Amino acid sequence: MENVIFRNSSKAIIVHNNNVLLLQKQHQGNPVFTVFPGGGQEPGESLSEALERECREEIGAIVKVEKLLFIREYRSWEQEFHNPARLMHQVEFFFECNLLEDLREDLVDNPDPGQIGALWVPINALMEANLYPKILRDLLPKKLQEGPLSSVPVYLGCVN
């Protein structure tokens, strides 16, 4: 396909006291939704370095990147809020992360477009959080409770 932007993206799954940290966003004319902090990998950055930078920019905190939990492909033209002017194929790497300091809203220096703020959402309330990717509303709680023979996949495919 022509004119398709391809990039890698790192996402942070930060859990504390059975709550997960999410970014609350809204784009003009659409409902409020939540996503995991993180964003695009820049040339020369490792996935971990990209995620550390993105978390400083979006949540104003330093994180320690831990294990890889999920990989998802995102092809914008297959999604419900598709913008034909911005075709994107993105491979997203979701890492378990730990906060190394408290969130500091005053240190957020490069929020995502439409970012309203960060909020803690109870894991058992992810279905009501209008979370994207939707598949993680169900899979994240299972992944956090998985045993050694878990059937929860790491590679999720092209899903929302």
> Does residue 150 surpass a pLDDT of 80?
no
Is residue 108 within 8 A of residue 59, CB to CB? The reply is: yes
Is residue 110 within 8 A of residue 28, CB to CB? The reply is: no
Mean pLDDT of the chain: 89
Global confidence as pTM: 0.91
Cα–Cα distance, 124 to 18 (Å, whole number):
8
pLDDT single digits (tens) 41-76:
999 999 999 999 999 999 989 999 999 999 999 998
Residue-range domain boundaries for the chain = 4-158
Total residues belonging to the chain: 160
Task: For tokens 């092809």, name the residue.
Answer: 75
CATH number for region 4-158: 3.90.79.10
Report the pLDDT value the prediction gives residue 160, as an integer from 0 to 100.
83
Report the pLDDT value the prediction gives residue 38, as an integer from 0 to 100.
96
State which amino acid sits at residue 147.
G
Name the percent of the chain lying above pLDDT 70. Answer: 94
Q: Which two tokens stand for residue 4?
A: 């398709």
